[in-house]
A and B are shown apart, each in its own frame.
Chain A
């Protein structure tokens, strides 16, 4: 039953989608059910755990709290969009090496919150990392190795940039 519902245009990880769904459907459910992007997880359905974090037009949001109508025309990034051509994102590499993921269910949201942080603040302090991840609950790690992972990814970014600069010269 799609009659009567407005078409919603979304750009998800660079791909354009046009869908007809009830406008009060949660962005989370649209991603998972209509677009098959099941990397984004539901942990609580009340904006508390952050497992469903995605970026909408560059802002970090809990996709369980966004009626899809309010994402009309938006550009959305999910965990599936982090790796480029099979190459892990620096955060994904760091989480793998530092033990930032255990059971993995909070990991997609955690990665989105962390990538949002690094996009705005490439070299965050530990306090800034704690704040940035304050809305993403992890029950396995005690967060310590997640902080390590974000710090490692930031350091790797810095190294990569320095190397790039060297090449440029």
Chain B
């Protein structure tokens, strides 16, 4: 502890009015302190210059989340934990909930505030790219009244913003109009938890008739303050997503950012990886199945049990479903598949068995473990067997029995698009596997089926 607490004054008026009066009466004298996750670090390091501090902690007028028809207002005093826990934010602004979950650790999220994050103005601030992508406006208050500024114009230099000495950041307003927009968020940090972004990108785009109608790219750690990638946005807005337009957007992003070398990374790394993220987002926009958001958004906020029931038909291992529930909120289709893979990677033999048991034998219909949804999907997947010759079906039945005798579980193969004959041939081949290899192969097939079903689920 290098700072001396006796060298600093800290007052807590307890009300917004009290704080504003203090700021108005002695402009420039008082430094607001909210959750302290920045200023207290400086204090401990003996680098806290501010001698007079006024506490914003515990002021109810700064800590609110209000849904106002076509927008939402978030008080600057909301902690990131508040943001994570709020159902309307998870539903309408999933990227914000996700970014909130990336900040430091649970203990930091319960202290760090949205307002503090923005006013501190770190180029690497976790919430900033998302607010840029969502066209946030900030509301600024003083005894003189309030004013609104687009968040994209809030920062004006390294750790500089438009706040006057008597002003306080009061709230952040987000328009609720992005349900049909594709959204993307990725933070490249030094590690998974307690990480500061080396590069982060939030993206949002509306695609209509194959054209990019509207796009926002909010970036961190590539300039003196969080910034939109205006040129990259311009380069692709109104165009189709094609290899050429993606290349052009990459080039525009690389040209407009001004990253630096510091103790966490290098300018070159930041430049290249930012371009890669832009490309990843844009490539994802081209994916079919634009309609994933409503199902996901609803699922993200559903009760755990209901959400579990909804996703279990995609893969019948309960521990897998638990992991998926734990991974919520999931921002988009791509993230869903990534999360599903991660969860499946963590499964063990018992879970595989549980998932396998939810599939009917190839050539049969229904199992005791299957739900209506599972059965319907199995029927679609195995549609070819309906048309298969009796002889092939009989062989399948016979070989299925051999397989189960040998390995102790049902033959799993991704049946979509395969004829009964093909599935029989694969079954023959796999009978030659040892049990360990076969288990892996079956688990791999289960993974393929899982992805197919996740796509179907989102398409519902």
Nearest-neighbour CB distance to chain B for A24, whole angstroms, equals 4
What is the distance, in angstroms, from A150's C-beta to the closest C-beta of chain B?
14
User: Taking the complex as formed, is A149 at the interface, i.e. its CB lies under 8 A from any CB of chain B?
Assistant: no
Partner-binding segment picked from B40-48, B234-242, B252-260, B386-394:
B40-48
CB-based contact A59/B110 at 8 Å: yes
Q: Quick check: is B397 within 8 A (CB to CB) of the other chain?
A: no
- Contact partner of A127 (CB less than 8 A), chosen from B6, B107, B326, is B326
Report which residue of A1, A24, A131, A134 has the largest number of chain B beta carbons within 10 angstroms of its beta carbon: A24
CB distance from A131 to the nearest CB of B (A): 7
**Interface bits B316-338 vs A (CB < 8 Å: 1, else 0):** 00010011001100000000000
Contacts of A48 in B (CB 8 A): 194
Distance between A113 CB and nearest chain B CB, rounded to angstroms? 7
- Given the known inter-chain contacts A64-B44, A113-B106, A127-B327, please indicate yes or no for A24 contacting B12, CB distance below 8 A: no
Say yes or no: is A66 at the interface (Cβ < 8 Å to chain B): yes
Q: In chain B, residues 155-183, which have Cβ atoms closer than 8 Å to a Cβ of chain A?
A: none
Partner of A67, one of B55, B106, B192, B322: B55
Neighbouring B residues of A66 by C-beta, 8 Å:
36, 40, 111
* CB pair A70 B326 closer than 8 Å: no
Interface pairs (8), CB distance under 8 Å: A23-B11, A26-B40, A26-B44, A42-B1, A45-B1, A59-B110, A61-B110, A116-B106
Residues of B within 8 A of A (CB): 1, 3, 5-6, 8-12, 33, 35-37, 40-41, 43-45, 53, 55, 57-58, 81, 101, 104-108, 110-111, 192-194, 319, 322-323, 326-327, 346
The verdict on A46 contacting chain B, using a C-beta distance below 8 Å, is: yes
Query: Cβ of A125: which chain B residues have Cβ within 8 Å of it?
Result: 319, 322-323, 326
Question: What B residues does A122 contact at CB under 8 A?
Answer: none
Query: Is the Cβ of A135 less than 8 Å from the Cβ of B105?
Result: yes
Neighbouring B residues of A70 by C-beta, 8 Å = 12, 36, 55, 57-58
Greatest chain B CB density within 10 A among A1, A42, A47, A48 is at A47
A65 to B33, CA, bound (A): 11
* A126-B106 CB under 8 A given contacts A22-B5, A29-B1: no
**Cβ of A113: which chain B residues have Cβ within 8 Å of it?**
106-107
Closest chain A CB from B450 CB (angstroms): 17
Per the bound structure, the CA–CA distance linking A69 and B34 in Å amounts to: 12
- Chain A residue numbers with a CB within 8 Å of B55 are 67, 69-70
A72 interface hit (Cβ, 8 Å): yes
Q: Which of A7-29 contact B (CB under 8 A)?
A: 21-26, 29
Task: Please measure, in the bound complex, the distance between the C-alpha atom of A114 and the C-alpha atom of B11, giving whole angstroms.
Answer: 33
| Given A26-B44, A65-B36, A65-B40: A126 touches B346 (CB 8 Å cut-off) | yes
Contacts of A21 in B (CB 8 A): 5
Apart from A24-B9, A67-B33, list 14 A-B contacts with CB within 8 A.
A21-B5, A26-B40, A46-B41, A47-B40, A48-B194, A60-B110, A61-B110, A65-B36, A67-B53, A127-B326, A132-B106, A134-B194, A135-B104, A136-B105
Residue contact A62 to B108, C-beta cutoff 8 Å: yes
**Bound CA–CA A52/B110 (angstroms):** 15
Determine the residue in chain B with the shortest Cβ distance to A128. Answer: B326
Q: Which residues of A contact B105 (CB under 8 A)?
A: 50, 134-136
Are A25 and B107 in touch, CB under 8 angstroms? no
Pair B194/A135 contact, Cβ less than 8 Å:
yes
Residue interface mask A59-90, B partner, CB < 8 A = 1: 11110111101101000000000000000000
Given A66-B111, A70-B36, A60 contacting B106 (CB threshold 8 A): yes
Instruction: State how many angstroms separate the Cβ of B234 from the closest Cβ of chain A.
Output: 38
Q: Does A107 contact B (CB under 8 A)?
A: no
Given the interface contacts A22-B5, A24-B43, A128-B326, does A47 sit within 8 Å of B10 by beta carbon? no
Of all chain B residues, the one with the shortest Cβ separation from A70 is B57
B175, chain A: closest CB distance, angstroms? 30
Residues in A neighbouring B110, C-beta threshold 8 A: 59-61
Check A69–B12 contact: CB distance below 8 A: yes
From 42 to 60 in chain A, residues with beta carbon under 8 angstroms from any chain B beta carbon are 42, 45-48, 50, 53, 59-60
Contacts of B192 in A (CB 8 A): 134
Looking across the interface, which residue of chain A has its beta carbon closest to that of B35? A65
Query: Shortest Cβ distance from A118 into chain B, in angstroms?
Result: 13
Residues of B with C-beta under 8 A to A69: 10-12, 55
Nearest Cβ distance between residue A64 and chain B, in whole angstroms? 6
- Inter-chain CA distance A20–B35, complex, in Å, is 22
Decide: A134 and B37 in contact? CB cutoff 8 A: no
Q: Residues of A contacting B57 with CB < 8 Å?
A: 70
In the assembled complex, the Cα of A23 lies from the Cα of B54 at a distance in Å of 11
Chain A residues in 8 Å Cβ range of B81: 59
Expressed in whole angstroms, the Cα–Cα distance for A91 and B194 within the complex equals 24
Q: Cβ of A24 and Cβ of B323 under 8 Å apart? A: no
Q: Tell me the bound Cα distance from A22 to B327 in angstroms.
A: 42
Distance of B306 from chain A, by nearest CB (Å)? 17
Closest to B81 in A: A59
A70 to B79 Cα, complex, angstroms: 14
How far, in Å, is B351 (CB) from chain A's closest CB? 12
